[in-house]
Amino acid sequence: MARRTRWHHERPGLSALLARWLPERQLMLRGRFRVHHLRLTTGRQLAGVAVVLLALTWIGYTSNSVLRYDAVLASRDEQIDEARSAAKALTERLADAQLRLGATTDDLSQIRSRLQDATTQNANLKDTLANLENGLKSSETDRAQATATGERLQTDLASLRGTIKGLNERGKTLRASLDSTQAELQAALSERNQARTDGSQLKRQIKELESRVARLHDTQGEAMIRLALQTVINLDAGSAATGPNADKISPDGKGGPFIAAKAGQGKPETPAKGKPNRLDAYFGQWQELNDVLKRLPLGSPLETYQLNSAFGKRRDPVNGILAMHYGLDLAAKPKTPVLVTAPGIVVSTGWEGRYGRLVEVDHGGGLKTRYAHLAQILVKKGQKLSSRDSIGLIGSSGRSTGTHVHYEVLFNDRPMDPSHFLRAGQYVFKK
């Protein structure tokens, strides 16, 4: 009872102390439209202080534990390093002991082999002694034989000296022959090197001559192509001049290219002798020209068509601005087959921007044809074509206003008017 009364007497003092240090507080939290009141009593504040003290105590304890653990780990690492060093030292000692043991084993093996050799030599010496004892008995006979053998050897030595003298003289002769042979070999090597140098120069000259011949062939081929193109243009002009009623070409006509005579060929031939040669030359040129004409695109890319746009300046069908047109626009029904106008090799197929689906064919000699705005391509790159082979179907791909094929003819990448070839082809095929 006394204790309870004492506690009641002490409790108001502790409460007053706590109330003085941790007085009751009210926090006002003002929002946008409302005000909240938060009441912090002495008990709540005391609980918060207790939680903070516990947290600080725990932090201190854990920090101390971590530090102690680090110290323990450091000591263990040192012990591990010492153990590793000791193990390394033991390993080195063990390796050294193994080396010593190997050396000792080798020494023992050598000693054993020496003992075996000594035993064998001892036995051999015993046998030698026995043989010597037997040999002493027949020494007088051997001495006589040795004397006779010595005399024979002296005779052989004298003969050998004579042979050596002859060999020395022969060696001198052979050495002189060898010196002359070496001189001849050096001369042959120098001649071979000179021949190699001359051969390389001849090879370079041959390559230069071959390149010149190739350029001459290219120039001659290009000249034949130009002659054929001029023939096409002349045929086009002739067909326009004579009109569709011209029946045939007069057999009395004469002509042909002028070929200048080379220097050193002599006087001009008489008509009786020169006519066959000139005829052969003209016939050969005509054959070459005929071969070139077979490669010219004289056909039409369509069996039937309507010319929508010619070669040259025109009003652009899309924007109406004056522009240059480097081909012919030939219209026909959709899906009409497009035909190659001369034999050749396909060098390009696929989509080419404003051209749409395009096929480009190389006819040789710098001649190429293009067929654009196709609906479908029927050939592949590298494919060989004969004249009038189908390469695709007419369409309106790319920058186009309707179904047609854009047809171009190029010579050395320079566009030419395809209408000349079409009209010349009509005249040639008609004839």
Distance CA 296, CA 344 (A): 10
Residue 30 CB partners (closer than 8 Å, separation 6+): 36
Three-state secondary structure of 41-60: CHHHHHHHHHHHHHHHHHHH
pLDDT at 97: 87
Q: Which of 366, 364, 353 is nearest to 398 (CA)?
A: 353
Name residue, tokens 């002739």.
Answer: 238
Q: What is the largest CA-CA distance in the chain?
A: 171
Other beta carbons less than 10 A from residue 293's beta carbon: 19
For the chain, 431 residues long, give each residue's pLDDT as a single digit of tens: 444 444 444 455 777 777 777 787 777 777 777 777 777 787 888 888 889 999 999 998 888 888 888 888 888 888 898 888 888 888 888 888 888 888 888 888 888 888 888 888 888 888 888 888 777 777 777 777 778 877 888 887 787 777 777 777 877 777 777 777 777 777 777 777 887 787 777 777 667 656 654 554 444 445 555 555 565 555 455 444 333 333 332 233 223 332 333 444 444 334 344 444 555 555 555 566 666 777 789 999 999 999 999 999 999 988 999 999 999 999 999 999 999 999 999 999 999 999 999 999 999 888 999 999 999 999 999 999 999 999 999 999 999 999 999 999 999 999 999 999 998 888 766 55
pLDDT at 206: 66
Distance CA 49, CA 59 (A): 15
pLDDT at 376: 96
pLDDT at 230: 60
Distance CA 360, CA 346 (A): 6
Distance CA 379, CA 359 (A): 8
Q: Which of 343, 374, 347, 377 is nearest to 360 (CA)?
A: 347
Distance CA 210, CA 336 (A): 48
pLDDT at 136: 75
CB half-sphere exposure, 345, CA atoms < 13 A: 5
Phi and psi, residue 245, nearest 5°: -90, 0
pLDDT at 301: 96
- Is residue 312 within 8 Å of 290, Cβ to Cβ? no
Other beta carbons less than 10 A from residue 240's beta carbon: 10
Strand partners, 159: none
pLDDT at 260: 34
Distance CA 419, CA 424 (A): 8
Mapping DSSP to helix (H, G, I), strand (E, B) and coil, where does residue 428 land?
helix
Please give the DSSP secondary-structure letter assigned to residue 265: S
- Is residue 429 within 8 Å of 242, Cβ to Cβ? no
Please give the DSSP secondary-structure letter assigned to residue 228: H
Terminal alpha carbon distance of the chain? 151
Tell me the pTM. 0.41
Strand partners, 307: 330
- Is residue 411 within 8 Å of 225, Cβ to Cβ? yes
Radius of gyration of the chain (CA): 59
Please give the DSSP secondary-structure letter assigned to residue 395: B
pLDDT at 261: 38
Distance CA 423, CA 242 (A): 13
- Is residue 232 within 8 Å of 296, Cβ to Cβ? yes
Other beta carbons less than 10 A from residue 370's beta carbon: 21
pLDDT at 28: 77
- Is residue 348 within 8 Å of 362, Cβ to Cβ? no
- Is residue 122 within 8 Å of 116, Cβ to Cβ? no
